[in-house]
Structure 1
Amino acid sequence: MKKVLTDTAIFRVLGFKQHVLAVAVCASLGLGMIATAEAAPARNVNPPVLKADAPNVYVVKKGDTLWDISKRFLKNPLRWREIWASNKHVKNPHWIFPGDRLLMCDYQGRPILGKDEGDGCAGIISRYLGDQKLQPQVRLESLNNAIPVIALDDIKNFLERSHIIAPNALDATPYIVGAADQRVLAAKGQTVYARGVGLEAGQRYAIYREGEPYTATDAKGRKYPVALELTQVATAIASKNSDNDVTTLEITDTFSYEVRRGDRVLPIYDPMLPTLFYPVETDNVVKDGKVIRVQGSIGTAALGSVVTLDRGSQHGVQSGHVFSISQQGEVVTDPKTKERIQLPGQRIGQLMVFKTFDQFSYAYVLSSELPIKVGANLVTPSDDE
């Protein structure tokens, strides 16, 4: 799915026409609701290496994620697709559901994993080889029951309600100037007032709060904003317009925060949320990216955290890209020469991008051996086991 508008254009209010924010996250394997192409052949010569304690049989449980299942079997979970045997006769052959029985089989010394469809390893190997003689099987299953690659609950708010935009994208957009009964904060069921043009009575709107800007430093060491982060805090319906550009709004829902003065009023955006992600290796991504913000923290991230990267779609980053995280080594004093030297960096975890903007992206921490700090480097995962 192509990105037609820039992040700035999305938030420019021209008559407040609704824009649908599409989140494409299921490419690369035919795992999406639109994409159906098969994965490209693996670049690795050596077969993926199984963990020493990899099970021969595993029954998928509710609450499992595909990444966690991959880690049960492989030393490098990113190589899951190389061992997965899918039934190409099924519309969505890669989906896994609670109760599915996974078998680890051997084909010419190579590990093959697949769903037991009553025919054991013989059937799994046939599906891996693309045997067209197999008959399709009918299975009715709710899409919402499919096992996700990561826990969608951990990133839902960022998919639905957080955006990174250009610093001037909010110029001339309406903002909250007060609330009924002289309240400082307002919640669901209460009335607020917004100043600015373009709001229409009877229309629904989203109320956003500006976060700390993302900054860069110029040649003189002065910081300047390069992007703004918006978080949706509420939805509201415009009930009445007045002659002085003040519109009355009734708050219909709030999300984690109450509405306050200065919050921006923008059109409702309906993100098409994915139900599946699939981690893929990075290709043609501009190097030397970094973690520049840890969401919901003062500076350190761990397994399950969401972070902001200084790489976006204009750098070649796509949803599903997986990076290793490298922490810069300590600067120490040589005990013999007294020189200050930089120790090598070390790999401390992995993360997966799940939402991209022009210059930035949100990523989910898949693994963490040490606390991940702002400034940690992004490294393309090595193909070596």
Structure 2
Amino acid sequence: MSKHHAIKIFSTFVMLSVVSSLSGAATEIKGDSPSEYVVKKGDTLWDIAGVFLQSPWKWPSLWEKNSQIKNPHLIYPDDVIYLLYRNGEPYFSTSKGGSGKLSPKVRAVGKFSPITAIPRVAMQAFVGDHRIVDASRIGKMPYVLAGVGLRDLIGSGDEIYIRGALDPEFNQYQIYRIGKVYGIKDGLSTENSEIIKIGTVDLLEKEGDISRAIVTESNGLIKKGDIIVRGHALQLQPLYYLAAAPQGVTGKIISAVNQAHKITRYDGVVLNLGVDTGVFPGHVFSVLKAPRQVKDPRTGEMVLISNQVIGELMIVNVFENLSYGIILNAKGIVSPGDSIVPVQ
């Protein structure tokens, strides 16, 4: 029997039923919150938490771990989530696969995967295919010199020449194209380049600083000058643990991953927060619209509108000086230049 269809037998099925330690948790429950919810395939943790809570990122705080279910983020389709109260304080319990009984329980591991914080397809493009590197490194990286036979149009199955130092003991490399450069104008002390994965090559032979390789995968035409990076593309984390960002950490959206000026739900954004700020994947921020002036339609005078919370975003990948985030919720138009602050 394959591990994907292995059967995990629980000797006793135990419901999660531990009171939250969150002070004032009752105020976090929505007035129209249901008493139970059946998890469906395609649900996300953010959406389910939003069914019950005014602040979805506080989802883990209304659970406590026990030996039966070790992680409140490990929720599966067909699970039933219950909103219960003890001494006036809310807490969540769950029964697996729709069973509300305290009885032996069998689950086919691999039938379903745990639901994710947000749709995986929304993250894949700019988590798996985008990186940010110190711009000073670009000129030192190996690059595509030409196609074999001096072809200008290079795609999957074609052979290419690479110039630069490659490790002959390492066979597979990624091809990246240089994208947008972020620097002083974005509040950074050094220039950082976004690089976008467009293909994969296998090394065939090497002589001096010239190597021959075959393109095994491509997302588009490969060009002369595209850079070569050792290793595999960045992978999505299996789970993102929702949590409020550290207090005192603030930043701004400096660009949309797709270069759009109007950013909506599940769009990717580039943030001016790096590893030294202490942010991690899963941290949630509020998005603030910058103060702006609007014209009063009656008096004609200009009126200053202060900061407004227009949405939330979650960190999905952190680099030395920048990070990628994804918009979880947008109540208005999110734009480059909008500020981000820890959710409350």
Q: Are the aligned partners of 2:21 and 2:62 in contact in 1 as well (CA < 8 Å)?
A: no
Alignment match, 1:113: 92
Tell me which amino acid in the other structure corresponds to 1:282: A
TM-score, structure 2 as length reference: 0.83
- Could you list the runs of 5+ residues in structure 1 that have no partner in the other structure? 1-40, 124-134
Is 272-281 or 57-66 further displaced after alignment? 272-281
Corresponding position: 1:375 with 2:320: no
When the two structures are aligned, how many residues end up with a matched partner? 323
Residue of structure 2 equivalent to 1:301: 263
Instruction: Look up the equivalent residue of 1:56 and give its one-letter code.
Output: S
Q: Does 1:70 align with 2:49?
A: yes
1:229 counterpart residue number? 194
Amino acid at match of 1:294: A
Q: Does the Cα contact within 8 Å between 2:25 and 2:89 map onto a contact in 1?
A: no
SS at match of 1:99: coil
Please say if 1:179 is aligned against 2:151: no
CA contact (8 A) 1:98 1:146 kept: yes
SS of residue paired to 1:237: strand
Hey, what's the Cα distance between the residues in 2 that align with 1:312 and 1:345?
Answer: 24
| Deviation at residue 139 of structure 1 after TM alignment | 3.9
Matched, 1:353 2:315: yes
Superposition pairs of residues 131-280 of structure 1, within 5 angstroms: 139-142=107-110, 145-200=113-168, 203-217=171-185, 226-242=191-207, 245-255=209-219, 257-269=220-232, 271=234, 273-280=236-243
* CA–CA distance in structure 2, aligned partners of residues 167 and 285 of structure 1: 29
| Structure 2 residues without counterparts, runs of 5 or longer | 1-19
- TM-fit CA distance, 1:246: 2.4
More strand by share: 2
Alignment partner, residue 311 of structure 1: 273
Alignment-derived partner of residue 327 in structure 1:
289
Could you say what secondary structure the match of 2:183 adopts? strand
> How far, CA to CA, are the matches of 1:252 and 1:196 in structure 2?
20
TM-score, normalisation: structure 1: 0.75
The amino acid across from 1:185 in the alignment is L
- State whether residues 48 and 82 of structure 1, in contact with CA within 8 Å, keep that contact through their aligned partners in structure 2: no
Contact 2:202–2:215 (CA under 8 A) maintained in structure 1: yes
**Counterpart amino acid of 2:192?**
A
Letter of the aligned partner of 2:153 in structure 1? L
Distance 1:173 1:297, change over 3 A: closer
CA root-mean-square deviation: 3.0
How far apart are the structure 2 equivalents of 1:295 and 1:145? 28
Judged with a 3 Å threshold, the aligned counterparts in structure 2 of structure 1 residues 312 and 285 are, in CA distance, closer, same or farther, namely farther
- SS class of match (1:322): strand
Q: Using a 3 Å threshold, how does the CA distance of structure 1 residues 202 and 373 change in structure 2: closer, same or farther?
A: closer
CA deviation vs aligned residue, 1:229-264 (integer Å, no higher than 9, x gap): 111111101223345x32221000113x32111100
